[in-house]
Amino acid sequence: MSDDAEIIVGRNSVMEALKAGRSLNKILVAKGERQGSVRDIIGQARAQGLVVQEVDAAKLDKISAGVRHQGVVALAAPVAYADINDILSVAYEKNEAPFLVLLDELSDPHNVGAILRTADATGVHGVLIPKRRSCPLTQTVAKTSAGAVEHVPVARIGNVAQTLKSLKKRGLWVVGADMDGTQNYYEADLSGPVVIVVGSEGEGMGRLTKEACDFIVRIPMRGHITSLNASVACSLLLYEVLRQRG
């Protein structure tokens, strides 16, 4: 794990990172640790909407590689997360229709990195990643993105369906990619303000996410394999948006 995330070890260091507003993927706390400053750290983390996970002390020993962790370790993102409102503001300042991507429970960091690379190439204004059950920004994501992580804003969101509902109220169309789609992706009108939603590698979009979409598009398949890699499928849709905006 130490190769894939910046590790912040110890109660004081983690609390200072929280106070400084560092972009943290997760707080790990040793099971049973709830006294004094640990309780304050947990409270501060939850107030910031961060994931707090209880783990065995032995896991913290391994992650901290011999450094005294005092029952608390934080995993930091390689770049700062963005705010969804700031992402939209940048699009409007450029006089461009917002172009967002939402990754619904995508867990493979190589897929996330590849999508960020394509997002940069196609002019995506920002990528949205759920805080839970999704791959956060890690060093592997950053490396796979070939530097795109420095240029494409990534925002972490809470409830996916609620986020999509909010974006729809702001005039964005929500387009999901799924084999059950009612039309081919190149037949859909993707020229306006849009959120492209891509589901997980194995399960696709969750039921509530699918219900929150305005429409579902499919990618026609002629071979024996019934689905594409998530990053490949996403790339096809992003380039179709770019083509239609041409």
pLDDT at 226: 67
- Whether 84-245 and 6-76 are alike in CATH topology: the answer is no
| Calpha distance 103→112 (Å, rounded) | 8
Find the Cα–Cα–Cα–Cα dihedral 146, 91, 82, 208, rounded to 10°: -100
Residue 213 contacts residue 176 (beta carbons within 8 Å):
yes
pLDDT at 211: 92
pLDDT at 3: 46
Superfamily, domain 6-76: Ribosomal protein L30/S12 (3.30.1330.30)
**Closest C-alpha to 79, from 23, 30, 29:** 23
The SS3 of residue 200 is strand
| Calpha distance 130→179 (Å, rounded) | 22
Amino acid sitting at position 203: E
What is 84-245's CATH topology? Alpha/beta knot (3.40.1280)
**Which residues, in sequence order, are CB contacts of 197 under 8 Å at separation 6+?**
101, 102, 104, 164, 174, 175, 176, 177, 205, 209, 213
Residue 118: left (phi > 0), alpha (psi -120 to 50), or beta?
Answer: alpha
pLDDT at 64: 83
b/e 125-160 (16+ beta carbons within 10 angstroms → b): bbbbbbbeebbbbbbbbbebbeebbeebbbbbbeeb
- Parse the chain into domains and list their residue ranges: 6-76, 84-245
pTM for this structure? 0.84
pLDDT at 1: 41
The tens place of each residue's pLDDT in the chain, 246 residues long, gives 444 568 888 888 899 889 888 888 889 998 887 778 888 999 999 998 888 999 988 888 888 887 888 889 999 888 889 999 999 999 999 999 999 999 998 989 999 999 999 999 999 999 999 988 888 888 889 889 988 988 999 999 989 999 999 999 999 999 999 888 889 999 999 999 999 999 887 777 888 999 999 999 999 888 877 677 889 999 999 999 999 998
